[in-house]
Amino acid sequence: MSRVTAILLLLLVAVAAAVLAFAFRGRSNRRERAVRELLDAADILEARLRTARAEIEAVAGDEADPVRIAMREMLRQRLWLQQHGATASLVELDKVRASFDDARLRLDQQLTQIERARAPLA
């Protein structure tokens, strides 16, 4: 093997290693961002659930607690994330985050209906 070929081969291996390292780092950053966004979505949903519980209790009293099921589901998802977050695919993480976002939107709609029901008729 000529000296030039050996140098070119060495350069090719170094470039390939750099590309692989960069690709792995990018994937790791996407995963970290996905987990961080998922946890942020869970925090937002939890805050909205607490607000909803207070609003519903103000209207219907302590016995009516439709938020309890949503809180359990949110806590179940957080436990899943704690147990599987490190190995979950980005698709799985995105699905869980989407479920949090969907639940928050439905909750916001219900709270809007409660506000309208509580508002004095004009």
CA 115 to chain centre: 28
Domain span at residue 63? 29-118
Contact between residue 78 and residue 49 where contact means Cβ atoms under 8 Å apart:
no
Whether 74 maps to a domain, the answer reads yes
pLDDT digits (tens, 9 = 90+) for 2-30: 666 666 666 666 666 666 666 666 666 88
Whether 85 maps to a domain, the answer reads yes
Whether 19 maps to a domain, the answer reads no
Whether 5 maps to a domain, the answer reads no
Whether 11 maps to a domain, the answer reads no
pLDDT digits (tens, 9 = 90+) for 27-68: 668 878 888 888 888 888 888 888 877 777 776 665 555 677
In this prediction the pTM is: 0.56
Contact between residue 100 and residue 42 where contact means Cβ atoms under 8 Å apart:
yes
Dihedral sign, CA of 30, 32, 35, 36?
A: negative
Q: How many domains does the chain have?
A: 1
Confidence of residue 79 (pLDDT cuts 50, 70, 90): confident
